[in-house]
């Protein structure tokens, strides 16, 4: 049986405590953290695998178009 290859967009941000936080917008609740970017990338791949195994409905990643930071004054 041929395995399906899925590509997910992962958002990585640095928290106030210096840890990196990774979340997967296509999978609600799928997130993790790590001390380094390489550590958080390794952990988020594991988190995605766990989320896919435990989720009963089929998850299909959306096509990544782009990301943009918007500055707003308040």
Q: What is the pLDDT of residues 20-32, one digit of tens each?
A: 999 999 999 999 9
What fold is seen in the domain 11-54? Double Stranded RNA Binding Domain (3.30.160)
**Predicted local distance difference test score (pLDDT) of residue 65:** 85
Domain definitions of the chain by residue range: 11-54
- What is the separation of C-alpha 56 from the centre of its chain, rounded to a whole number of angstroms? 19
**Predicted local distance difference test score (pLDDT) of residue 42:** 98
Contact yes or no for 40/30 (Cβ under 8 A): no
- DSSP letters, 14-40, are E-TTS-EEEE-TTSTT-EEEESSHHHH
pLDDT above 70: percentage of residues in the chain: 100
Q: What does DSSP assign to residue 38?
A: H
Provide the total of helices (H) and of strands (E) in the chain, helices listed first: 1, 3
pLDDT above 90: percentage of residues in the chain: 65
Residue 19 — pLDDT band, cuts 50, 70, 90? very high
Weakest mean pLDDT among 4-8, 41-45, 54-58, 61-65: 54-58
């Amino acid at each position: 049986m041929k395995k399906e290859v899925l590509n997910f967009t992962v958002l990585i941000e640095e928290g106030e405590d210096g840890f990196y936080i990774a979340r997967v917008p296509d999978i609600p609740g799928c997130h993790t953290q790590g001390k380094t970017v390489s550590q958080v990338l390794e952990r988020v791949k594991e988190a995605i695998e766990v989320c896919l195994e435990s989720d009963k409905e089929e998850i299909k990643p959306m096509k990544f178009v782009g990301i943009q930071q918007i500055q707003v004054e308040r």
